[in-house]
Amino acid sequence: MRSVLPVLLALGLTVYCVVSIAQADAGEVRALPRWGWLLAVLFLPLLGAAAYLLAGRPVAGVPGRRTPPGRRPGPKGPDDDEDFLRGI
């Protein structure tokens, strides 16, 4: 059982990173293009996955990050929300 657990953890981390790479916008992935991260994660499972999580994954709240279509950014506080201010 002990020798199976590290293999399962490495497999789970690899699958997580592959799914994350596939879902990320090409312009938001850092340091390498998406296909480069995909190759790194698949051919160097632990090292590539760790590198992607540290240096390649898109970061929330980065200036220039696009808002998904059909959604507007929400207010940052109560004083930024016009509906809240009207109700006072």
Distance of alpha carbon 65 from alpha carbon 50, whole angstroms: 23
Q: DSSP labels for 15-31?
A: HHHHHHHHHS-TTT--S
Per residue in 16-57, pLDDT (tens digit) is 999 999 998 888 888 899 999 999 999 998 999 999 999 988
DSSP H/E element including 85: helix 82-86
pLDDT of residue 14 exceeding 90: yes
Q: What is the pTM of this model?
A: 0.65
Domain boundaries, the chain: 1-59
Residue 47 neighbours by CB under 8 Å, 6+ apart: 40
